[in-house]
Amino acid sequence: MSTTKAPPAHPVEAEVRKPSTRRRLVPYWLLLPGILWLLVFFALPMVYQASTSVQTGSLEKGFEVTWHFRTYWDALTDYYPQFVRSLLYAGTATLLCLLLGYPLAYLIAFKAGRWRNLVLVLVVAPFFTSFLIRTLAWKTILADGGAVVDALSTLHVLDVTAWLGWTENNRVLATPMAVVCGLTYNFLPFMILPLYTSLERIDGRLHEAAGDLYATPATTFRKVTLPLSMPGVVSGTLLTFIPASGDYVNAELLGSADTKMVGSVIQTQFLRVLDYPTAAALSFILMAVVLLVVTVYIRRSGTEDLV
Amino acid sequence: MPVLRWIRRNLVVLAGLLTLAYMILPNVVVMVFSFNRPKGRFNYAWQEFSLDAWKDPCGVADLCGSLSLSLRIAFWATAGATVLGTMIAFALVRYRFRARGAVNSLIFLPMAMPEVVMAASLLTLFLNMGAELGFWTVLIAHIMFCLSFVVTAVKARVMSMDPRLEEAARDLYAGPVQTFVRVTLPIAAPGIAAGALLAFALSFDDFIITNFNAGSTVTFPMFVWGSAQRGTPVQINVIGTAMFVIAVAVVLAGQSVANRRKSDAGK
């Protein structure tokens, strides 16, 4: 670096600087192809979608940008039940994932011992079996008159859930409960892995120290483990909630016409009705709502250095 | 009550194992029903044991075609996303430059976006460009959404890497290329492999983005989706089972290799 401080007119200086400018360009060359790919196939499409959402016209006559913002209002009033449902189902599934996933992540991090790798493999392996096939398997598991439904019925669980509006007529398939069950199942690995990574980083001696200071296991968990695992909780929640809110596969395969989520509407408008402006507006509203929820959540949980 | 006390003491373990059972249950069902001989078009109720589907996994029209298409797309998407993603990860960890924040957000955003939003916006781009939907549009889309995951995986590994190892290599008169090939790459390899594995799984399994941008091309997830409406052949369960077994075997084998290396290094 001392060479750059030499008098600028010196001829040797120019020769020294050449490789250093080249070196300074290295990161840009490394970034160029990937960033270009994301700009052209991720950012640019968003611009196209924004323009599509303010167009009017039809497939035969062609679409034109008319700054018709009413499309947004119409889309929202027509499909707000699907919006509310998406957020509700995704929120419930996220909460269930957290409740179910935390003990398993804890088990892998602290209790599994030499079984740790095997359990981790069993958590990750579902990634590699087609999730559509596994979702279809839930049709068999939750089938009317199947073992699960019979058991829930005998235990009078279905009476309670029916009263809450989660199930109807002593069946689980084609009800909100089936959809939430499928969503929870499909996104559990996305909750468990971040939880596990942040739990694994906790120094086991902290638990011993808490015990030495007469903390009960419950207090240790509340005052030591849980706060230290918050980064995992936050990123797990985001990784579950965001994809779940846009998912329509579970709602379509396990639900009924009354459990349709907003992704399903976007898909139908785009691929079947071919009403591109409405579809684009819907997808923008979904994006805005999700980003809003996520931003508020990150602010409130106070871990902004996640990314 | 010793039993109750035992349950209370092992509550976490029991709850964890129950969750694990919940996660494995559908895989077990898929496996069991691959040996079924269903009545009618749908394979949702147990009828009788049969090995027919295992003897003839490609016996259904278009099934193995869609499978090989998905494998080809996943292969190229993994290759593309891994190369581009690794380059970005190295740039982000190893260099200070302007626009770092902007690059980081551009990497983060695809992961913070519901898939259906990306799928729909990409379709508007392709429609506006008049691109023909098919293999290439699906491949472009897959590289796009796998990229961020590869960057994250590789970044994590490169960040924990000791830069002094590379300095040491340079002190021993290794050139930049030699340092990279002999020192940097081997250390970063587990991160790159994890990123590539993730990209392969994500691409192979993707339905939503593919469904929007595939036109009339049918990948394996799209075949399964269609069969949920028309009738599900048992062969789907056979392939699902085979995928599960292969995945578990590959991951366990990889881990045992890593373990052996670790114990060798310990000697």
Contacts of B155 (CB under 8 A, 6+ apart): B89, B92, B93, B191
Q: How many CB pairs under 8 A join A and B?
A: 250
DSSP string, A251-298: HHHH--GGG--HHHHHHHIIIII--HHHHHHHHHHHHHHHHHHHHHHH
- Are the C-beta atoms of residues B86 and B243 closer than 8 Å to each other? no
Place of tokens 């494998």: B71
Quick check: B213 and B144 in contact, CB under 8 A?
no
User: Is B159 at the interface with chain A, CB within 8 A?
Assistant: no
Nearest chain B residue to A50 by CA distance is B121
User: CB distance from A115 to chain B under 8 Å?
Assistant: no
From CA A123, how far away is CA B126, in angstroms rounded?
36
What's the Cα-to-Cα distance from A41 to each of A211, A244, A270, B125, B141, rounded to whole Å? 53, 23, 18, 8, 7
Per the CB < 8 A criterion, the answer to whether A93 and B224 are in contact is no
Number of C-alpha atoms within 13 angstroms, CB side, residue A167? 20
Q: CA-CA distance, A173 to A138, in Å (whole number)?
A: 9
The length of chain A in residues reads 307
**pLDDT value of residue A188:** 94
C-alpha A195/C-alpha B257 separation (Å) is 26
Which residues does chain A have within 8 Å of residue B237's beta carbon, measured at their own beta carbons?
133
What are the tokens at A17?
A: 């600087």
Instruction: Give the CA distances from residue A82 to residues A88, A94, A263, in Å, rounded to whole numbers and listed in that order.
Output: 10, 18, 9
Could you tell me if B120 lies within 8 Å of chain A, comparing CB atoms?
yes
Supply the angle between the helices A230-246 and A276-301 in degrees, to the nearest 10.
Answer: 170
Check residue B96 and give its pLDDT.
84
What parts of chain A have a pLDDT lower than 50? 1-17, 305-307
For residue B22, the distance in angstroms to the closest alpha carbon of chain A comes to: 8
> How much is the mean pLDDT over chain B?
89
pLDDT digits (tens, 9 = 90+) for B83-119: 999 999 999 988 888 888 899 999 988 988 999 999 9
Per-residue confidence (pLDDT) for residue B137, from 0 to 100? 96
- Which pLDDT belongs to residue A20? 66
Asked if A132 and B122 come within 8 Å (Cβ–Cβ), the reply is no
- Using only C-alpha atoms, chain B has a radius of gyration, in whole angstroms, of 23
Q: Judge whether A96 and A179 are in contact, CB under 8 Å.
A: no
Q: Are A171 and A109 in contact (CB under 8 A)?
A: no
End-to-end Cα, chain B, rounded Å: 49
B92–chain A nearest CA distance, Å: 8
Amino acid at B62: D
Residues in chain B with CB shorter than 8 Å from the CB of A194 are none
- List the 145-204 stretch of A: residues with Cβ below 8 A of B: 185, 188-189
Rounded CA separation B140/A71 (Å): 30
ipTM surpasses cut 0.95: no
The SS3 of residue A59 is: coil
Whole-number pLDDT of residue B223: 95
Q: Which two tokens stand for residue B148?
A: 């961020």
Tell me which amino acid residue A36 is.
L
Tell me, letter by letter, the H, E, C secondary structure of chain B.
CHHHHHHHHCHHHHHHHHHHHHHHHHHHHHHHHCCECCCCCCCCCCCCECCHHHHCCCCCCCHHHHHHHHHHHHHHHHHHHHHHHHHHHHHHHHCCCCCHHHHHHHHHHHHHCCHHHHHHHHHHHHHHHCCCCCHHHHHHHHHHHHHHHHHHHHHHHHHCCCHHHHHHHHHCCCCHHHHHHHHHHHHHHHHHHHHHHHHHHHHHHCCHHHHHHCCCCCCHHHHHHHHHHHCCCHHHHHHHHHHHHHHHHHHHHHHHHHHHHHHHHHC
Q: Which residues of A touch B147 (CB under 8 A)?
A: 34, 37-38
Question: Are residues B145 and A45 in contact, defined by beta-carbon separation less than 8 angstroms?
Answer: no
Structure tokens belonging to residue A101: 């996933």
Per the structure block, which two tokens stand in for B146? 């796998």
d(CA B122, CA A34): 17
Q: Mean pLDDT throughout B238-242?
A: 93
Question: Which residues on chain A are in Cβ contact (under 8 Å) with B107?
Answer: 38
pLDDT band for B59, please (50, 70, 90 cuts). confident
The Cα of A63 is separated from the nearest Cα of chain B by a number of Å equal to 11
pLDDT digits (tens, 9 = 90+) for A45-104: 999 999 999 888 777 777 777 787 888 999 999 999 999 999 999 999 999 999 999 999
> Does the structure show a pLDDT above 50 at B257?
yes
Contacts of B159 in chain A (CB under 8 A): none
Residue ranges of B 96-115 with Cβ closer than 8 A to chain A: 97, 103-115
Distance from CA of B116 to the nearest CA of A (A): 6
